[in-house]
Amino acid sequence: MKQSRLFMPTLREVPRETDLMSHQVLLRGGYIRQVSSGIFSYLPLANLVINNLKGIVREEFARIDANEMLLPTLIPKALLMESGRYEDYQETLFEVTDNENRSFILGYSHEELFLSAIKDEIISYKKLPLILYQIKDKYRNELKVRQGIIRTKEFLMCDAGSFHLEEADLDEMYLQFERTFERIFERCGLKSYAVVGKKNLLFQAESKEFMVFSESGDQTVVYSDGSDYVSSYELAKSILDDKKEHKKLLPLEKVSAPEFETIEEIAKHFKLKSDRIIKTILVEVDDELVLILLRGTDELSLAKAQMVLNAKNIRIASMDNIEKSFAKEFDALNPIGCNPDVKVIADHRMENAVNLTCRGCMSGVYYQNVNSERDYGISEFADLRLVCEGEQSPDGNGILHFSQAYELGHIFKFGAQLSELLNADVPNSEGQSVPILMGSYRLGISRLLAMIADASAKETGLNWPMEVAPFDIHIIPINVNDDVQMDLALALEQEFEAAGYACLIDDRNERAGVKFKDADFVGSPYWVTVGQKAEEGIVDVKIKKSDDILEVRREDLIETLKILNH
């Protein structure tokens, strides 16, 4: 392609509203433009990258015999009401009404439509397993759009569904998709980590999230420096040297002291370590209240609590519910004298501790020498705390460290739950009607574009991996008015394209500095500069990844590129 015909509106200044380097470079390089908050246009260079990403996905999905299709953007609201997901996701849905007053949701996720498409067509178990997928825009009314095209209201996603008769078959496909996603990310030049995901709000589905480390990441990932252990921050585990305390249980004491705001202040007043103070948190779990106890230095993981309690929804309790469950005149929650209808669970670190201290219900009242086996009941001890950096990895190998990361993909095992709600059944080998088992798999394409840019962005431009670059080779004749240079450049374009390379030739009558600056934004893996040695058939080949420059004869170019690519 001739660069004079390429729509590439570059910016010389960094836009004020951006602080993420990859976002700055994509704007300056003419890849994207913001239309409104969380809404972007993807200009020709970005679209070329996206098409390459789609190609990689299609190639990898072909390896597992997945069928590509397209589902409608408009999803009948009634279908989401039937599955139960409308209520859970209502705040982030775009809802529209047609001229007959029927309500539709702009596609945010398509599991219901995948099932709807097959449930009346699959009349025999012999048609299973089946894999369907699509690459399509999604719409979510994100409350906090941020970081350029990483979190937006409209975005491109590849979503797939697999359908099975047997649980073992679903398990195998789940593993196949995990390997498929890993290959896709590897071909895009990214190192991904599959971590156990938080439970799906409605279906309690087993899931894994694919994370890519980034300093600007919006999530925290925990990893070991001595093994391959990686986890989301909310679900990470560790080994702590908490030995059982074999101390005599001292008599419970009710004491008066000034009212303190923090656990640290309480500990200082009573001359205790902060982990000798009981931290109490009341949570609303579906339709009941649960009081959670932790050591004073620990923080609650709501994700762990949700899994332990097998809850659909969990949140910190509202003040109204606190007042209903505890004395009307209270200043702090505590397990002593708690409403017997309120379940009490505790982090496993509480199990080994005796003679602790906690607040009383009234202002200025505290209890000392508090012991669960005597003073209050615990329904269950479980891992409920967030780990701390520097703790031992749960596999016993190495120390835990934290890193920021972005989620690029998510896979779920829905099993029979969604099929049962939508009456998606199939006769098995014995003629009995059984629900179709489903797996769901999502990969963010526009976010993948942003992440590859994030990994390769510099202030001066981009360095795309070969498989995703908008152009493989950027041919730059220094003087377009020199017939020898232009004839060689045009000849090279034909030779490269015949060899399977996508080329951009800079045919503009611009200074060399301008051409090189724009070439940095295009980010092709190889530059072929045609200059003063054109008469000798010699050009400069710049390897963008390393900035090395080689002098190569025209007849050796194709072979040299083959060697460089391997």
The predicted-structure confidence for 65-83, as pLDDT tens digits, reads as follows: 999 999 999 999 999 999 8
Domain ranges of the chain: 43-235+402-452, 253-382, 473-564
Nearest CA to 429 out of 166, 67, 58, 78 is that of: 166
Burial 534-560 (b: 16+ CB within 10 A, else e): beeebbbbbebeeeeeeebebeebbee
pLDDT (average), residues 350-368? 85
Highest mean pLDDT among 352-366, 422-436, 454-468, 469-483: 469-483
Q: 289 — phi, psi (to 5°)?
A: -105, 140
Please say whether the structural domain 253-382 has been given the CATH code 3.90.960.10: yes
pLDDT for residue 554 is more than 50:
yes
Looking at residue 325, what is its pLDDT? 60
pLDDT for residue 330 is more than 60:
no
Whether the link from the prior residue into 477 is cis, omega within 30° of 0, is no
More confident residue, 124 or 62: 62
CATH class of 43-235+402-452: alpha beta
pLDDT band at 366 (very low <50, low <70, confident <90, very high): confident
Burial of 190 (0-12, 13-18, 19+ CB in 10 A): buried
Q: 162 — phi, psi (to 5°)?
A: -115, 145
CB contact at 8 A, 448 and 53: yes
The residue with tokens 């004020």 is: 16
Q: 288 — phi, psi (to 5°)?
A: -135, 165
Sign of CA dihedral 508, 510, 516, 521: negative
- Rounded distance, CA 216 to CA 403, Å? 10
pLDDT for residue 202 is more than 60:
no
DSSP assignments along 423-459, one per residue: T-EEE-TTS-EEEPEEEEEEEEHHHHHHHHHHHH-BT
pLDDT (average), residues 85-90? 85
Beta bridge partners of 425: 435
Burial of 173 (0-12, 13-18, 19+ CB in 10 A): buried
Structure tokens at 204: 């309690």
Structure tokens at 439: 């797996």
Looking at residue 329, what is its pLDDT? 47
Looking at residue 466, what is its pLDDT? 95
CATH T-level topology, domain 473-564: Rossmann fold (3.40.50)
Share of the chain above pLDDT 70, in %: 96
Task: Dump pLDDT digits (tens) for 45-54.
Answer: 999 999 999 9
Burial of 442 (0-12, 13-18, 19+ CB in 10 A): buried
- Rounded distance, CA 564 to CA 218, Å? 36
- Rounded distance, CA 117 to CA 101, Å? 24
CB contact at 8 A, 97 and 122: no
Query: Kind and range of the H or E element at 78?
Result: helix 77-83
Provide the whole-model pTM. 0.89
CB contact at 8 A, 369 and 342: no
Q: What is the spatial order of strands in the sheet that 343-347 belongs to?
A: 314-316, 278-285, 288-295, 343-347, 380-382
pLDDT for residue 328 is more than 70:
no
133 Cβ contact partners less than 8 Å away, ≥ 6 residues apart? 61, 66, 67, 68, 69, 158, 159, 160, 161, 441
pLDDT for residue 332 is more than 80:
no
More confident residue, 332 or 410: 410
CB contact at 8 A, 288 and 314: no
Percent of residues in the chain assigned helix, strand, coil, to nearest 5 = 30, 30, 40
pLDDT for residue 201 is more than 50:
no
Instruction: Tell which phi-psi region holds residue 322, choosing left (phi > 0), alpha (psi between -120 and 50) or beta.
Output: alpha
Looking at residue 253, what is its pLDDT? 87
In the chain, the largest separation of any two C-alpha atoms, in whole Å, equals: 99
pLDDT (average), residues 303-332? 74
DSSP category for residue 523: T
